[in-house]
Amino acid sequence: MRDTYDVVIVGSGPAGAAYARTIKEARPTARVLMVEAGPVVSDPPGRHVRTITDPRERVAAQFASQGPQARPADYEEQVARALSPSRGRSAGLVARPGTWLLDTSAPAEGETGFPAAALSSNVGGMGAHWSGASPWPDAAELSKDLDPDRFDAALTDARRLLQVTQSAFEQAPLGADVRRLLGAHYNPGRNADRVVQPMPLAMEVRPDGQRYWTGPGVMLGDLLTSHGDGFELRSDTAARRILTTAGRADGVLLHDRLEDREYEVGARFVVVAADALRSPQLLSASGIRPAALGHYLNEHTMTTNTIQLDDSLRAAAQGLRKTSEGAVDVLAGVSWVPFHDPSFPFHGQVTQWDASPIPVDDTFEAWPGSVVECSVFMGKAEVRYEDHLEFDDSRPDYFGMPSIKVHYTFTEADRQRLDAAVAEAKRMGSLLGEPINGLEPAVMPHGASLHYQGTTRLGSDDTTSVVDTSLRVWGNDTLYVGGNGAIPTPAACNPTLTTVALCVLGARDLAGRL
Ligand code: FAD
């Protein structure tokens, strides 16, 4: 006899957490099981690892999230390096802490490849490691298939679930000066909600001033402490197949990774929120393969110009708190240059630090908030069916699922848009100061954004999309999807807030049917 739940949610990142929370708010008595392939790495489960104050514990949590790279042979050496950034980074392509690289093999002939594609596997997913930037998309970035009023209402809920605020760095050095200088160039012609402004960030600023980044643990909140009330989180438990009867999802085959045991659970509804690479992997492995599944992959190609603020601002910084003692990860503020159609078809993210994130000579002096990374994200100019994920059943991955190969090509039109993005990053830098070391903007390798879109895209046509606008998989209406893969457009802004809003739409639809 298999145990049966009202809803089984696969994946515990922001997408899965948004489904769980919304369903339980609408239907408090619903029995919801959330399964997560990775381990619990923080306490409470899903807590953002940046809020772990002990550095060694924090680094251990990052490693534990790295799936096959959780325990490399030189673990102690890598931990020491992570604890002391001045000891230098490893050579070559390096995954961000808390993630591991999906596929380091060469791209197929004639393709550009996606070498920096990375994943997290832990309770909270990437949402326990993310930077929290939560800008909202411009209408021009969104799918015309979405009803704007319905989406706006969901966005309000998404902001609440993620605790989005624009005042987290109100007191930070020189943030207002940065926005004034950028705004003089970018603001003319924009509506009030699209001018240069503090970046909306997913975090709570506590009364003592501590910034508590929102991870899925915050989103799940009291669900985690009230198991008896019908919510259960099962970590180290991978979904291997969605089970179907007469074309409708009605259960999940699970793998208990600690006991190496497979078993089934029943479900009235199944939600797959296993990130933009592994949601299509699970659907494909289950024989659920709408024509668009795994196709139309796109991401944000990112270019970054690291500069030091103009010396004329140095006087304004005198006496301001110095927030770091030379560490490279002390954030002193984040500003937002929103996408604006058609004058700025990008997302601009301007991050201030107290120290240089790139090597500098001894004469370089960082003053509070003076090191500024001007990052410009571009949506892919050409979203193509050909950019897709290939699943290979004959080569199981670390979790025993078909391995994933990414087929991705940057076209001529994409290159032209990237040239414009690089020019924009230079312009931003020149508005604020001088490039550190005189360097040109850096272009990140493909996949480095960690913002993968399109692979389970929503739409109104079952030949070019995987889910409808309520996030139900075409042809299987007890099966829902959540995650960045559902975003059908090459939206330029960071995707998580949009994703959480879409999950709210899916969850409300599902809850209405319970
Ligand atoms: P995830 O958070 O990745 O969670 C998916 C979970 O599903 C994983 O834990 C995985 O183990 C689990 N899973 C996969 N397959 C299975 C299976 N078969 N069975 C069970 N479980 C499974 N986004 C922004 O919008 N703004 C930012 O500022 C930002 N900064 C970032 C900085 C970093 C360092 C990182 C790593 C990411 C950042 N992101 C940012 C991206 C953001 O974290 C993701 O958009 C978000 O986490 C996606 O949510 P998700 O729930 O779809 O996927």
CB of 216 shorter than 6 A to ligand 1: no
Share of the chain above pLDDT 90, in %: 82
Give the ipTM of the model, two decimals please. 1.00
For 419-448, what is the HEC assignment? Answer: HHHHHHHHHHHHHHEEEHHHCCCEECCCCC
Residue showing tokens 């795994």? 294
Q: What is the pLDDT of residues 44-56, one digit of tens each?
A: 999 999 999 899 9
Q: Is 219 in the pocket of ligand 1 (CB under 6 A)?
A: no
- Residue 122 Cβ contacting ligand 1 at under 6 Å: yes
Distance from residue 14's CA to the centre of ligand 1 (Å):
7
Which residue of 126, 233, 282 sits with most ligand 1 atoms within 8 Å of its CB, as the best mutation to test the pocket? 126
pLDDT, mean of residues 177-206: 96
> H or E element: which one contains 472?
strand 472-473
> Given a cut of 70, is residue 125 above it in pLDDT?
yes
Residue 108: CB atoms within 10 A of its CB come to 14
Give me the DSSP letters along 12-23.
Answer: -SHHHHHHHHHH
Per-residue model confidence as pLDDT tens digits over 372-401: 999 999 999 999 999 999 999 999 999 999
pLDDT bin (cut points 50, 70, 90) of residue 325 is: very low
- State the pLDDT at residue 321: 56
Task: Give the dihedral of Cα atoms 128, 129, 133, 136; nearest 10 deg.
Answer: -50
Buried b (16+ CB within 10 A) or exposed e, 117-154: bbbbbbbbbbbbbbbbbbbbbbeebbbeebeeeebeeb
How far is the C-alpha of 431 from the C-alpha of 177, rounded, in Å? 11
Say if ligand 1 is within 6 A of residue 135 CB: no
438 token code pair:
């005189």
Residue 330: predicted pLDDT: 67
Among all chains, which residue has been given the structure tokens 């639809």? Answer: 509
35: CB partners within 8 A, 6+ apart: 8, 9, 10, 11, 12, 234, 237, 238, 239, 252, 254
Pocket test for ligand 1, best of 62, 164, 496 (most atoms within 8 A of CB): 496
Annotated catalytic residues are: 451
Ramachandran class of 395: left when φ > 0, alpha when ψ lies in -120 to 50, beta otherwise: beta
Length of the chain as a residue count: 514
Supply the residue whose CA is at minimum distance from atom 9 of ligand 1. Answer: 125
Q: Is the CB of 12 under 6 A from ligand 1?
A: yes
Cα(402)–Cα(398) distance, integer angstroms: 9
333 lines ligand 1 (CB under 6 A): no
The per-type count for the chain, helices as H runs and strands as E runs, is 10, 22
Count CA atoms within 13 Å of residue 241 on its CB side.
11
Q: 492-505: per-residue pLDDT in tens?
A: 999 999 999 999 99
Query: Greater confidence, 198 or 2?
Result: 198
- Look at residue 221 and tell me whether its pLDDT is greater than 50: yes
**What CA–CA distances, in Å, run from 62 to 66, 89, 179, 339?**
7, 16, 33, 32
Nearest to residue 69, comparing CAs of 109, 108, 35, 118? 118
Q: Which percentage of the chain shows pLDDT scores above 70? A: 95
Task: For residue 278, give the ligand 1 atom closest to its CA.
Answer: 15
pLDDT for residue 228 is more than 70 = no
